């Protein structure tokens, strides 16, 4: 499936409605990047509703990469004993947008 990307801040209730979700899948990524299906009028209308800023795939990937790098740096700065905890035990890994 082909996708499009935008950046929008989730304000909470009403940002994505059940009506939206019943028509298309919205998937969130770090940096307030949202992935929606391409060639979907409903998805395009949703981006307008949330005042999303369209991004190319490369632009969206760059935003995600920056957030992952920040998370990796934060993880690297953790004391060793915290890195051994059973939850969140691994260094954040790269996310590749489809």
Binding mask 68-87 for another protein (x = CB under 8 A): x-xx-------------xxx
Rg (CA), the chain: 16
Q: Which is nearer to another protein, 38 or 70 (CB)?
A: 70
Reduced 3-state DSSP string for 7-23: ECCCCCCCCCCHHHHHH
- Does residue 34 contact residue 8 with C-beta atoms inside 8 Å? yes
Q: Which is nearer to another protein, 39 or 81 (CB)?
A: 81
Distance CA 3, CA 47 (A): 13
Binding mask 40-69 for another protein (x = CB under 8 A): ---------------------------xx-
Distance CA 57, CA 35 (A): 9
- Residue choice 2, 90, 96, 98 for contact with another protein (CB under 8 A): 90
The residue ranges that bind another protein (CB under 8 A) are 10-18, 20-22, 25-30, 67-68, 70-71, 85-90, 92-93, 95
């Amino acid at each position: 499936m082909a996708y499009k990307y935008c950046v929008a801040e989730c304000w909470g209730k009403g940002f994505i409605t059940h009506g939206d979700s019943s028509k298309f899948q919205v998937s969130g990524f770090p940096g307030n990047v949202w992935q929606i299906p391409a060639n979907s009028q409903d998805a395009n209308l949703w981006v307008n509703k949330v005042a999303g800023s369209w991004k190319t795939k490369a632009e969206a990937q760059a935003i995600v990469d920056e957030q992952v790098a920040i998370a990796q740096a934060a993880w690297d700065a953790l004391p060793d004993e915290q890195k051994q905890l059973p939850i969140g035990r691994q260094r954040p890994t790269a996310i590749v947008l489809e």
